[in-house]
Amino acid sequence: MAFRGPPSTVVSVAFRLARSSSRTGARPPSPPTCSWAVSIAGGVRSSVGRVHSARMTAMSEVVHVRGVGDGHDVGAGLSALERAAVTSAVAAVIMHCDMEVEGQRRWGRLRARRRKLMPAATTETLDSAAICEAVLEVCCALGCGGLPRATARWWVKRRTGGTWKDLRPADDATGDYFRDKLRMSPRVFREIVENLSPILQRRVTFYREPLQPDQIVAYTLYRWPSGETYESSSCSFGIGRASGLVAVRDVTAALLSVYREKVAWPTGVRKAIVLRAFDDKGFPNCHGCIDCTHIYVDKLANAPAEDCYDRKRRFSVVAQVVVDLDLRILDVFVGYPGSCHDVRIIHLSTLWSRAVVGGLFTGPPVLLPFQVQTNGYLLADNGYPPSKWMVVPFGGVAQHPLESRFDSKQKTVRGAVERAFGRLKGMWRLFLGLHKTNMETLPQQFVAVCILHNILIDVGIPFDENLLWEVDANGVRRRVDLGIHRPPRPLCMETSTGEAIMLRQALAERMMWR
């Protein structure tokens, strides 16, 4: 059973139980095993609000209780047995009250700690329209640059500026620094950047600011002259290796798109200038000099080694070039492996097909001695077959004075192509030595370098002859290898046509009488 009520009632009940037990002679139980005292304590636990009031009320009832019997025993005192029963009941009440209060305090401390750790709840709530408007304002602020954008650490890596920072100051030393690093003046560089910017400019995104066209062009124009690897050259411009690869690819494509007319067969006034220059050297109606050079590359991955193995036992790619006496490149054909012979290259080139159909030399014919007429021709070495549009030396040991004079003159004039290769590879040294490359982009890069070669000639950028010399491992200064392979022996004259022999003989005769 359980007793519920105020402490005074509980104590009165305990007193009555004690009196009844004393009359019947029953012995009250000891305080620890008194079941009715525990029931009294349960009643007190449910009715007491505060421990202090319960404790004071219970003690006052114990001290001042008098005659709380059946009503007619007023004034009678408690016996020892009754006092023991009441004391046991009150002790149980106080013990349970203490336990209850301690538990309430413990739970109070836990709730206070939780409220302290939890963030304060927002009392005001926003409707959906206000939330949408706030999101729109934040997006507009980000797009206009009003709010700083946090850049993810894996998008941009901190790097040093290096060469790119040195190219930006505009002082007295900037011009020399540009010519040393980029092979051109600051004015020419700015013109190239201005013409390529519409193609190279990228849209600004939320991820990061894209590389600017001037930095992309400067990096590409630095790598081609320096010949450095992507890892080394990209660090000098504060960009990554992947960005360097993309920069070279984009600048190459932009040069081929914007300056495609820089490497073209001469027409109009330019053609008249070229023909006049060769006529002054004793070769009327000559349009240029032709030869091949080898671009040395590292062994190609996933490709047969013998395909790119040339006569000098090196891996290379062949480039066929036609130049005039101003060293300007008129035609370029590149991409075939070094194992191909020069004759094989010219038969595969578009130059041969255009010459065969008559679309290469379209000017009026020139009359030579022996009533020989020519519409145009090129000067070549003995590695090429003689034809009506290809003039090669006589060759041989015991030569006639007329033949010796012609060969000497032809070799001197034909030296323009070797000087053009020297200027081309000397300035853009990536194509001078051995380097790792991608065969899919190497031909386009070489054509782009030929375009820059003609641009620098047109604006009058001089060439430093010291670039054609290098010091080897033994400390000996020697001339660089331009990759020009001389034929081991002249081609058999039996393959020559009568028109080719008559043309060469007429040119030699004309040269003798001038």
Q: How far apart are CA 38 and CA 169, in angstroms?
A: 96
Lowest-confidence region among 77-86, 292-301, 339-348:
77-86
Q: Please say which residue of 115, 139, 172 terminates a domain.
A: 115
Residue with tokens 């690869």: 245
In this prediction, residue 148 has a pLDDT band, given cuts at 50, 70 and 90, of: low
Say yes or no: 309 and 347 in one domain: yes
In this prediction, residue 46 has a pLDDT band, given cuts at 50, 70 and 90, of: very low
Closest CA to 86 of 46, 48, 34, 26: 34
Residue 302 has pLDDT above 70, yes or no: no
Say yes or no: 177 and 250 in one domain: yes
- Which residues have C-beta within 8 Å of that of residue 336, sequence separation ≥ 6? 317, 318, 344, 345, 348
Share of the chain above pLDDT 70, in %: 74
Tens digit of each residue's pLDDT (9 = 90 or more) over 323-332: 999 999 999 9
Asked, for residue 94, whether it belongs to a domain, the answer is yes
Q: Please say which residue of 228, 258, 288 terminates a domain.
A: 258
Say yes or no: 303 and 342 in one domain: yes
Say yes or no: 341 and 362 in one domain: yes
Asked, for residue 143, whether it belongs to a domain, the answer is no
Asked, for residue 372, whether it belongs to a domain, the answer is yes
Q: Enter the tokens of residue 237.
A: 């411009």
Lowest-confidence region among 73-87, 322-336, 447-461:
73-87
Say yes or no: 320 and 221 in one domain: no
In this prediction, residue 18 has a pLDDT band, given cuts at 50, 70 and 90, of: low
Higher-pLDDT residue of 66 and 273 is 273
Higher-pLDDT residue of 162 and 275 is 275
Say yes or no: 70 and 172 in one domain: no
Say yes or no: 279 and 199 in one domain: no
Tens digit of each residue's pLDDT (9 = 90 or more) over 367-401: 999 999 999 999 999 989 889 999 999 987 778 89
Say yes or no: 281 and 371 in one domain: yes
Rounded to an integer, the average pLDDT of 213-224 is 95
Asked, for residue 1, whether it belongs to a domain, the answer is no
Backbone angles phi, psi at 290, to 5 degrees: -120, 140
Say yes or no: 272 and 358 in one domain: yes
Domain that holds residue 60: 7-115
Say yes or no: 254 and 265 in one domain: no
Give pLDDT, residue 365. Answer: 92
Q: Please say which residue of 115, 137, 153 terminates a domain.
A: 115
Asked, for residue 396, whether it belongs to a domain, the answer is yes
Asked, for residue 185, whether it belongs to a domain, the answer is yes
Say yes or no: 393 and 448 in one domain: yes
Closest CA to 466 of 264, 108, 180: 180
Report the number of secondary-structure helices (H) and strands (E) in the chain: 17, 9
Length of the chain (residues): 514
Asked, for residue 445, whether it belongs to a domain, the answer is yes
Rounded to an integer, the average pLDDT of 248-263 is 96
Is the distance from CB of 168 to CB of 178 less than 8 angstroms?
A: no
How large is the greatest C-alpha to C-alpha distance in the chain, in angstroms?
171
Burial 134-173, CB ≥16 within 10 A → b, else e:
eeeeeeeeeeeeeeeeeeeeeeeeeeeeebbeebeeeeee
Q: Which of 49-53, 189-193, 362-366, 438-442 has the highest mean pLDDT?
A: 189-193
Asked, for residue 45, whether it belongs to a domain, the answer is yes
* Domain count across the chain: 3
Say yes or no: 359 and 271 in one domain: yes
Give pLDDT, residue 509. Answer: 93
Residue with tokens 């005039």: 324
Rounded to an integer, the average pLDDT of 186-199 is 95
Write 95-99 long-range contacts (CB < 8 A, 24+): 95/41, 96/41, 96/42, 96/44, 96/45, 97/44, 97/45, 97/48, 97/51, 97/54, 97/55, 98/51
Give pLDDT, residue 15. Answer: 52
Higher-pLDDT residue of 110 and 58 is 110
